[in-house]
Amino acid sequence: MTLDQSRIDALRAQPVAQGLNFIDGRSYAASDGAVMPVISPIDGRHLTDLAASGQAEVDRAVAAARRSFEAGDWSELSPVERKRILLKWADLIETQALDLAVLGARDNGTDIRSALKGEPLSAAQTIRFYAEAIDKRNGEITPTRNDVLSLIDREPVGVVGIITPWNFPLMIGAWKLAPALAAGNSVVIKPSEEASLSTLRIVQLAHEAGLPSGVLNAVTGRGIDVGAAMGLHMDIDVMAFTGSGGVGRLLMEYSAQSNLKRVYLELGGKSPNIVFPDAPDLDRAAAETAASIFRNNGQVCVAASRLIVHRDIHDDFLAKVRDHATALKIGDPLDLSLTTGALANAAQLSKTQGAVARAIDEGADLWTGGHQLHADSGGFYHEPTVLTGVTSAMGIAQNEVFGPVLAARSFDTEHEAVAIANETVYGLSSVVWSRDISRAHRMSRRIKSGTVQVNCFSGADVTSPLGGVKQSGNGSDRSLHALEKYENLKATWIQL
């Protein structure tokens, strides 16, 4: 899709309607009329309001989801019919892709090129993937006694609760919505209060595509209100969440306090990026290293925020990374002449500034960046930042910033590189640069992460699973394996 600045500007100028809940096929305000402001990270101005919902709206949405599921409006529809509706939904999203991308950028600050490709177009691709998969999966017959027929079927779990983050709400939302719906479940989704607008729109598009009323419902509001009510709800069977470890822990506690619902978590990372002197192309490695942490201002779950580079090439390689970092043009995400947009909110800007200041206080060296940009705009902008001389004891080596901050350090041996890579509580993703195929295999086996990328960054797509180990979570988004989260296995024994 060719981007045109005048078209983007026209979409930017359009007023944004208040974000309302979408329950049982209709839009609703909060029952008490409460709203919360949406502040655009572009300029810090009020964009619109969201319904500030609570227990009443969650109860209403869950009841609608349960009714639709038990009625079989969707759950008992043939796979080929579910596929037809999901494919139409994907088509509608793609048709409105630019509108959705501009709306999303106004809401969370992602630059328009990344927003278009990574949000509506990615979501449409994901929905098509699961739509095409559901009529091609079979049950099983297991070998048992000659007088027994043993069958294994996959059944939808029932009502699925989904909570999505603000960095890529459509992409990550589709990773959960598409397999949950494809499997025949009904869903209640709570988008982040920091980025709800584009999600609300695609939920409405699903209804326009023919999804029966009550099958997909959206409730907006604060996590402490809506998220907690969902986590504690006795009639939600599965929760799927992407976000912080603190909220993930709460959801597991809520499960224990309620109906022991299954809880699937993707809780971010502090991903290592290990560069050996024999990397096939050090210039490309440096370019992708910069992209891996500065794309979307580091607000990416798999961002390679720890650079672990061999001592022999440390200074030269860091100089290459700095060149790529300083070449980025930071500013208005809807300006096609720029490369990188805003941080999503004021809190994230403050967190980034605080992390940099603490790292310097703890002894790290500021290699480049480190400062807020365009403060007079009212928006939330920060320089791409590289810190060197980082040690394991520093907070910047252990804690996820979710901002444009790269923590760099050197190593001497392969064993040391693996030890550094594995020293955090996270285990989502990792990167290794080396021409030695044996070393690549050894590193892949020894690094504790759900994904290992060798001589590339972000080479995976919807066909490949994304899931974490350790405190990066459990279960997998993407790939056919994601369907397993939203299905129950049923064994049936038939005496012959």
CB atoms within 10 A of CB 482: 28
Helix (H, G, I), strand (E, B) or coil at 341: coil
Per DSSP, helices labelled H in 338-458 are 346-361, 414-421, 437-446
Instruction: Give ∠ CA 67-71-75 in degrees, rounded to 5.
Output: 100
CA angle 65, 94, 118 (to 5 degrees): 90
The Cα 240–Cα 119 span in angstroms is 19
Question: How far, in Å, are 114, 373, 442 from residue 191 at the CA level?
Answer: 19, 28, 40
- Give per-residue burial for 452-462: e unless 16+ CB within 10 Å, then b: bbbbebbebeb
Cα 329 from chain centroid? Answer: 24
Question: Directed axis angle between helix 79-95 and helix 122-133, to 10°?
Answer: 170
Q: Is-catalytic flag, 400?
A: no
Considering the candidates 194, 266, 383, 487, report the single residue annotated as catalytic: 266
Q: Which residue has the tokens 């809940």?
A: 21
Q: In whole angstroms, what is the distance from residue 363 CA to residue 218 CA?
A: 46
Instruction: Read off the amino acid at residue 18.
Output: Q
Q: Are strands 262-266 and 405-411 parallel, antiparallel or unpaired?
A: unpaired
Q: At what angle do helices 197-208 and 79-95 cross, to 10 degrees?
A: 130
Closest CA to 159 of 234, 71, 65: 65
Count of CB atoms within 10 A of residue 380's CB? Answer: 28
**What residues have CB less than 8 Å from 351, skipping those under 6 apart?**
401, 402, 403
- Mapped onto helix, strand or coil, the DSSP state of residue 344 is coil
Alpha carbons 232 and 259: distance in angstroms, whole number: 8
C-alpha 341, offset from chain centre: 18
What's the CA gap between 161 and 187, in Å, rounded?
Answer: 6
How far is Cα 36 from Cα 256, in angstroms, rounded to an integer? Answer: 30
Place of tokens 């999600």: 199
Residue numbers annotated as active site: 266
